[in-house]
Amino acid sequence: MVVRDRNKHRQNMINLERNMGREAFNEGAEIMPLANYSQLAPHDKRQAEMLTDEAGDQYWAGNIAIGTPGKTFLIDFDTGSADLWVPSVNCTSSYCSQKDKYNPATSSSGSHKTGSFSIQYGDGSTVSGPVYTDTVSVAGITVKNQYFSPVNTISPSFGPQADDGILGLAFPAISNLGQSPWFNTAKKQGAVKNGVFGFKLAKSGSELYLGGTDSSLYTGSIEYHAVTGSGFWQIKGASLLVGSNTIIDSGTTIIYGPPSQVAAFYKNIPGSEVYDSNAGFYSFPCASTPVNVAFSWGGKTWTISAANFNLGKVTATQCVGAIAGQDLGLGSNTWLLGDSFMKNVYSAFSFDSNSVGFATLK
């Protein structure tokens, strides 16, 4: 999990440098070496896609359709990346054997483009393939000529997962394809009225709402904060124990912070200790799981429930915490808030106002 997260954001930094230049980097940000496993409503043009909780809260997935006629794929919707890929019929490895596959020969709207798509993972395997455009629909919202990759090779880490691929919901600046991500294309083509989407992540009743937010799932107003970083859903001024930048990433399971700040955080939990120094995980006494871990951006305080902070037992008495210390190369004072945080709030992402917002779940 840590290796995949680190290498995803390594590739994002490479794409950001290529598309925007190094001046777009946060202070202290760098392109890290590759990690490996020995290291660390319809008329309003809005619609909801129901999501399923996969692999014990590791990610949430929903259906999309690609091609004409549409072929259905189960997809991980990822706010921390900006590209769409699914396996192709030319992926013959065992890692693709249980997945749905795209066949360009059966889609009347598909078109092969120049170039290629490739991401290197830390175990030496890759996700790579050609570049195509085709019609892509999510929750009845249809986009034409969307760039994506039907990959021929796939990382072993994706093989056991239930989802077929990933649809990125971040900014074009970190696109590995160098093209408009699906939701941005939907806004350009008028397929959605508003450039806003919202998430509810839970054991059941999870949802990705496109073209706005679903007010039936939260109470009160949404507290928005301006995005400060290029490419990422990054907001500034969070406080846990110290002030920091944060990146909100639905494609990351846990919460990552600078190692020194995370170490300082766990010093406030009696009985906590380093569990995995390479991955940055800490354990703490299960009987005293903290109930007041929270983030704030100067407004409301957003608390992480004890159930969401506790990732499970590692001994009879010690449990692992959902906050890990890891340098992902995103900046010297940057936190990455994944699903362990997002499960506690309704999250809204606005391209229109360039902001991220949170509201209290019903």
Position 52 pLDDT exceeds 80: yes
Which of the residues 53, 57, 249, 339 is marked catalytic?
A: 249
pTM for the full model?
0.82
pLDDT tens digits along 331-341: 677 888 889 99
Comparing 150 with 39, the larger pLDDT belongs to 150
Tokens of 86: 């699914």
On average, the pLDDT of the chain sits at 86
C-alpha separations of 223 from 195, 238, 302 in Å: 17, 13, 11
Comparing 89 with 57, the larger pLDDT belongs to 89
78 noted as active-site residue: yes
249 noted as active-site residue: yes
Question: How would residue 26 be classed by pLDDT, with cut points 50, 70 and 90?
Answer: low
**Which residue ranges form the domains of the chain, and what is each CATH number?**
52-194 (2.40.70.10), 218-361 (2.40.70.10)
- Percent over 70 (pLDDT), the chain: 83
For the chain, where are the alpha helices, taking DSSP H only? 2-20, 182-188, 259-266, 306-309, 339-342
How many residues belong to the chain?
A: 362
CA–centroid distance for 105 within its chain: 31
- Identity at 17, one-letter amino acid code: E
What is the pLDDT, as a whole number, of residue 353?
97
Query: What average pLDDT does this structure show over 299-323?
Result: 94
Comparing 126 with 325, the larger pLDDT belongs to 325
How many Å from the N-terminal Cα to the C-terminal Cα in the chain?
Answer: 30
Which of the residues 57, 78, 163, 327 is marked catalytic?
A: 78
What is the pLDDT, as a whole number, of residue 36?
46
pLDDT tens digits along 254-265: 999 989 989 999
Paired with 87 in beta bridges are 151
Tokens of 51: 């999501």
Residues 6+ apart with CB under 8 A from 196: 211, 212, 213, 348, 349, 350, 351, 352
- Which residue in 84, 78, 46, 90 sits closest to 65, CA to CA? 84
